[in-house]
Amino acid sequence: MNRDFFLQPTLVVARQLLGCVLTSRNNEGETAGQIVETEAYLGSNDPASHSHRGLTKRNQAMFGQPGTIYVYFTYGMHLCLNLVTGSPGVGEAVLIRALEPLQGLSLMRHRRRREDIHDLCSGPAKLAQALGITLADNSVSLNEDRFSLKLGEVQSSQKIITAPRIGIRQAEKLPYRFYYANNSFVSK
């Protein structure tokens, strides 16, 4: 995946990430899925974004180079995966909200302690668990052995829905969420 891809405006990247295949590798094995749902988080003008009030120790990955991974811990128990996007240093990222599992299904089931394929990656913290993501992945570049991202086949038949983001209390009406219509692997 080209760095120029992540340099595009964040709302463009969020939409174009749909259909891309994200692969995660570690000593347990390899897992992969097609991205079917994303949310964009912008910079200082987006009250729902972690970067809204500027750089902190927690969100510093968001201010790194486009293509950097931003992992954060929330609700006392969950991790979520983002890809840094847009102009460098502005603090924008795309939250990966759901994947359609493609590879390493048994490993995903083991990590999630769930059997149903529709309950493996249908939410941001679920997919982080299914891919074996930890806080050690925060701030690393996407193009290392640990992760890779490649464009999927052109999904011209898939209709993309634009809708408000989920689970936020600030700027809750902004239409920064993107997902494939009629796809059963989108979050609920």
Distance, CA of 140 to CA of 126 (rounded, Å) = 20
Q: Is 20 helix (H, G, I), strand (E, B) or coil?
A: coil
What does the DSSP 8-state code read for residue 175? -
Q: Is 158 helix (H, G, I), strand (E, B) or coil?
A: coil
Q: How far is the CB of 6 from DNA (least distance, A)?
A: 15
Considering only residues 53 to 72 of the shown chain, the ones binding DNA according to CB under 7 A are: 53, 56-59, 62, 70, 72
N residues, the chain:
188
- Residue 87 in contact with DNA, rule: CB under 7 A: no
Q: Is 150 helix (H, G, I), strand (E, B) or coil?
A: strand
Considering only residues 2 to 41 of the shown chain, the ones binding DNA according to CB under 7 A are: 39, 41
User: Site for DNA (CB under 7 A): how many residues?
Assistant: 39
Distance, CA of 117 to CA of 175 (rounded, Å) = 28
- Selected from 25, 78, 109, 110, the binder of DNA by CB under 7 A is 78
Binding region for DNA (CB under 7 A): 39, 41, 48-51, 53, 56-59, 62, 70, 72-78, 80, 82, 93, 95, 112, 114, 119, 123-127, 165-170, 187
